[in-house]
Structure 1
């Protein structure tokens, strides 16, 4: 399994970086839309839709919704300035605060949504739609002045999340003793969380020193810590929904990694939260 994970990562990482820096904003948005459709297809299983056809329709409807939102916007503007986009980023901030409470009080909190497909679908929309617009908003950041400015920001967030995940895994394996959320994800520990945050801090320092981010260090530090914590929350939230659905992986699309949601669960929280803080708050 580890061999497949490493091989898949070595293939996917260059593809992701190439998409960030080589695709124009529209092309990048279309690729992100396709990823969100696959995520919606997998979320159908978390919402209680066992039929393949129902999940396909859910993915198609998600794609139509995102495409319709894109077509309703001007041909080009700095996307975060648009009320639709900024509102969705704020909504995402509220949703992840709510998700934090759902995770903290699980399994008691599950009694509120366990038997409601509608609520679980709403939770999926609140996860996937702001993630899409967070990706688009960051990619378009500063595009007029520098076509690659937003790509650097997105690469930063992705490395931050990947680093936090890897650091948490290594520190958890080596030093993990105290469970972080045993009722949601028994494998995660407080030692792993601290290790992930330390790894994120190191990435932030290195990236901030050598990459053209052009941001006040204190602002970057605040956004980094909150985004890293949000990435952990995204992972725990998906684990909670998978536990309720009685499944280990959201899918089997990526060899050794599970499904699309298993790979982007941390990013679905970190990207819109980071975008909201960096582009709207600061």
Structure 2
């Protein structure tokens, strides 16, 4: 499995990096919309929306919100990012609420009730703010494309660091305590620590490449730390949805990695907090 994951990552990573660095913001935003909407389609599976017409209508509704945000952001000088910034703030608030949801495992688990409504709302609150944060970061001057790569590299590094730290040190440092045993039994505190360390280090390195000054690095480290922690919440929340319906992966599109949602779950939570933290702390 590790070899398959590595080979898939070696194919996907260069394509993602090239898109981030080479595409102008409108094209990058359009590509991200396609990716996130594909992840949202898988989210509908986890909410057990089985009717194709209903899923299509829900997908078009979310697409319409994205289009409306772009249309409403037009100005005489081009585009204003105010609505995208507001949506990113809403995203941060949502993921704080999702953290509370994680503490109530059975909440919205019975799809014979109105649980699907909560999960569909959660899907929109996860995808659209993350997409807005991506657009906000990439459009920032100067070097917005490099800052977006920094944000994503933090999540990728944290995910990789957690995987290998968990496999190597799992159960040795914290007496076998699990991070969230009922939601994701394989996640360890050692993995979390490894993910935090890797994410912060990579964030600092990539921030220097993006143009951060040495004086800004403490702020970058704080935001990178928060982005890693939020990415863990995003990962656990998707795991919770999968536990509710008894599946291992959100899909099987990516060999060794599952579905698209399995790859972007941490990104969905990390992007809004990175965008907001970057703006507030001024780097």
Name the CA distance, whole Å, in 1 between partners of 2:198 and 2:80.
32
Alpha carbons of 1:62 and 1:210: their partners in 2 closer, same or farther (altered >3 Å)? closer
- How far residue 105 of structure 1 moved from its aligned partner, in angstroms, is 3.1
Alpha carbons of 1:132 and 1:114: their partners in 2 closer, same or farther (altered >3 Å)? farther
Which residue of the partner structure matches residue 123 of structure 1?
A: 122
Contact 1:40 1:58 in 2 (8 A): no
The residue correspondences of 1:1-282 to structure 2 (distance < 5 A) are 1-74=1-74, 76-79=78-81, 82=82, 84-107=83-106, 109-110=107-108, 115-116=113-114, 117-142=116-141, 146=142, 149-177=143-171, 178-214=177-213, 216-280=216-280, 282=282
Alpha carbons of 1:273 and 1:72: their partners in 2 closer, same or farther (altered >3 Å)? same
Worse-superposed segment, 197-206 or 162-171: 197-206
Alpha carbons of 1:113 and 1:53: their partners in 2 closer, same or farther (altered >3 Å)? closer
Worse-superposed segment, 239-248 or 67-76: 67-76
Worse-superposed segment, 41-50 or 212-221: 212-221
Contact 2:69 2:84 in 1 (8 A): no
TM-score for both structures, normalised by structure 1: 0.90
- How far residue 265 of structure 1 moved from its aligned partner, in angstroms, is 0.2
Alpha carbons of 1:64 and 1:200: their partners in 2 closer, same or farther (altered >3 Å)? same
- How far residue 115 of structure 1 moved from its aligned partner, in angstroms, is 3.0
Contact 1:161 1:270 in 2 (8 A): yes
- How far residue 267 of structure 1 moved from its aligned partner, in angstroms, is 0.2
Name the CA distance, whole Å, in 2 between partners of 1:169 and 1:218.
26
Contact 2:84 2:135 in 1 (8 A): no
Contact 2:74 2:80 in 1 (8 A): no
Tell me, what secondary structure is at the counterpart of 1:186? strand
TM-score for both structures, normalised by structure 2: 0.90
Name the CA distance, whole Å, in 2 between partners of 1:232 and 1:64.
29
Tell me, what secondary structure is at the counterpart of 1:32? helix
Name the CA distance, whole Å, in 2 between partners of 1:49 and 1:113.
10
Give the count of matched residue pairs: 273
Instruction: After superposition, give the CA deviation of every residue in 1:207-257 in whole Å (9 maximum; x if it has no partner).
Output: 344442347122111111111100111100100011112221111222221
Tell me, what secondary structure is at the counterpart of 1:216? helix
Name the CA distance, whole Å, in 1 between partners of 2:24 and 2:281.
26
Name the CA distance, whole Å, in 2 between partners of 1:10 and 1:114.
42
Instruction: After superposition, give the CA deviation of every residue in 1:97-133 in whole Å (9 maximum; x if it has no partner).
Output: 11111112323x4469883211111011110000100
- How far residue 64 of structure 1 moved from its aligned partner, in angstroms, is 2.4
5+ long unaligned stretches in structure 1: none
